Every structure is written in C-alpha cells, then in structure tokens.
Amino acid sequence: MSTEESAEILHDLPPFIRQYKDGRLVRLIASPKVPPSEDSVIGVRSKDVVIQPEIPLSARIYLPRAPFPFKKLPLLVYFHGGAFSVESAFGALYDPHLKTTAAEANVVAVSVEYRLTPEHPLPSAYEDSWLALKWIDSGSGGEEWISEFADLNRVFIAGDSAGANLAHYVSLRASIEPLGSLNLIGAILNCPFFGGEECLPNEKHHPLYGKAFTDKLWNFAWNGATGLDDPRINPLKDENLHKLVLKKVLIFTAEHDFLKDRALIYREGLVKCGWGGEVELIEAEGEEHIYSVLFPDKANSKNFIKKVVSFINGD
C-alpha cells in the first residue's frame, strides 16, 4: 500500500475517533489512565479487579470511608461513555467522577471496563456489561469490598452517553433474565445515547452533531451490522420496555445536548408503555452533553451530584 493510500481516512468521527484504510486508529479524545488510589481528601479508596481475564473484562471498585459496623451501603454499577469507542473506567476523566459520586452518595461503586469498538464491535460492550452484572450477582468471586460492604438489595445502575445506553440495556435484560441476588432499585441515565430512524427536531438543527453524525457513530460501533431501530439504540422499539424491573429512573439531559430529544421521548415512552415505575427528567439550562462529567466544578454539575445523592438515598 502506498503512503498516500495508507493515509486515506476510512471513518472520521471527531471528536471521538479516526480510522484509516490501512487499519490505523487514532482516538482523538482519550484521557490518560490513572492507577487506583486511596484519596484521603475525598475519603474514597479504589482498586481494580479482573472479572473475566480471557475477554479481558475488569472493573474499578470505589469504597467510601469505612461504613458503620454492620451497615451496608447501596451498590452503584457504572458504565462510562465515549461513543462505545473511547475512554475508560480507569481514565482521568471518569475516576474523579466516580470518586465524587461514591463519597457524596455513600455508595460502593463498580465502574466497568468494557471492550471498545472497532477492535471489538458491538455487541461486545453489551455482553461485557451484562457479564459484569452477572459477576456481581453470582458473588463477585468473593470480592470483599462487595461482599462485606455492599447491600445487594439496594442496587442502582448508571452511566453517561453510551454508558447510559448500556445501563438501560442491562436493566431491561435483568427484567427478562432475572438475577438471583441483586435487587435493582433504579437507573441514572446521564445524557443517554439513543437513536432511531426518525429524525427528531433538535437532530435537524444542531450546529455540530446532527442525526447524520449519531447515525455514523452507531453504524461504526456495529460495523454496519444492525439498523437504527434496533432496540438497543432505540428502546422505544423494544416490546419488553414495559417489563422494566426498576422502581424508578432518573434521566439527565442538557439544553444544548444533541441527544436531548432522545432523552425526552425515552421518558415519554416509559410513561406510556405501561411500566409502573417513577421517571424524572432533569434538563440543565445552558449546558452541553455530559456537562456533569466534563465540567464537575460548574454549579449545574454540583446540582447533578446532589440529585443523584437524593435519588439513591431516598429509596
């Protein structure tokens, strides 16, 4: 292959990823990985665990200050965002976000390191996410931070963007393939990455990321193997939506989020489908997609954390 041919771009999806015809990949955003730590300032310890080495599938667990004796804490299972193609549970973007959440909400948090596309096209991330939840359900290999400190009767599923999509997926799958020891209470979906064949109003008019862009992201993640009304990207097409086992769902979106209308119709879908739980949607004025992860010091981001704390501890 000539130098000119090798430099030819096959897929260009800024700000996430670029793939060249010779197979080279450039992840345009990827925060550096940071080690687990003991943060004495915020009062949270973390460590990494291997769930299935042959995949490989792993996670980072966060434990806040030692809980009162005999009092277990809610368990939060988290899936990071990044268009299924970038970022990491071990990255400098998500590590502080999970530390803050664990400290403020006083939860044991498990942040899942699932495989990324295109090296591992979807449905790999979906299967990894489900396997991680099943690992916890089956005893987490005796992992003491979960067995000793997590209350498996108070489990919450959460994620942002593509991770919120995964959070919805595992919550619904658990409704169809019941878990043994985990009682799922609620889900927190932060600017969820959903889509569909129909073009929604803000997808037509967003100055940067319209429907064509999100369609490309989805098709790239799947290597073109599924459609835009696949229930995993368009949950309103899922005939099992009304079976959602959760008692409540909290959805965050933002005024300028290119996926805002998807969050709105997802909420409407939950209300109309016959599901009996409670759903609340919060739209942050003046903010962009996953503002609470990207800009944690903003007032709206601090309000986000407060609402998450209330949602988890008000169950």
Q: What is the DSSP secondary structure assignment for residue 127, as one 8-state letter?
A: H
Residue 126 one-letter amino acid: Y
Q: What distance in Å separates the CA atoms of residue 55 and residue 51, rounded to the nearest whole number?
A: 9
CA dihedral 174→180→184→189, nearest 10 degrees, is -40
Contact of 289 with 257, CB cutoff 8 Å: yes
| 11 among known catalytic residues | no
Strand 150-160 relative to strand 25-27: parallel, antiparallel, unpaired? unpaired
E strand or H helix at 190, and its extent?
A: strand 184-190
Question: 13 by DSSP, 3-state: which?
Answer: strand
| 297 among known catalytic residues | no
Q: Which of 95, 261, 289, 292 is catalytic?
A: 289
Q: What distance in Å separates the CA atoms of residue 126 and residue 172, rounded to the nearest whole number?
A: 12
* Among candidate residues 33, 36, 247, 56, the one with its CA nearest the CA of residue 145: 36
| 289 among known catalytic residues | yes
Q: Which residues contact 20 (CB under 8 A, 6 or more apart)?
A: 6, 7, 8, 9, 10, 26
Q: What distance in Å separates the CA atoms of residue 162 and residue 286, rounded to the nearest whole number?
A: 22
Q: What distance in Å separates the CA atoms of residue 164 and residue 192, rounded to the nearest whole number?
A: 5
Q: Which of 128, 160, 230, 257 is catalytic?
A: 257
Could you report how far apart the first and last alpha carbons of the chain are, in Å?
A: 60
Q: What distance in Å separates the CA atoms of residue 122 and residue 116, rounded to the nearest whole number?
A: 8
Q: What angle do CA 306, 164, 110 make, to 5 degrees?
A: 70
Cα torsion 288, 130, 149, 52: sign: negative
Q: What distance in Å separates the CA atoms of residue 47 and residue 39, rounded to the nearest whole number?
A: 12
Q: Which of 85, 161, 171, 292 is catalytic?
A: 161
- List residues with catalytic annotation: 161, 257, 289
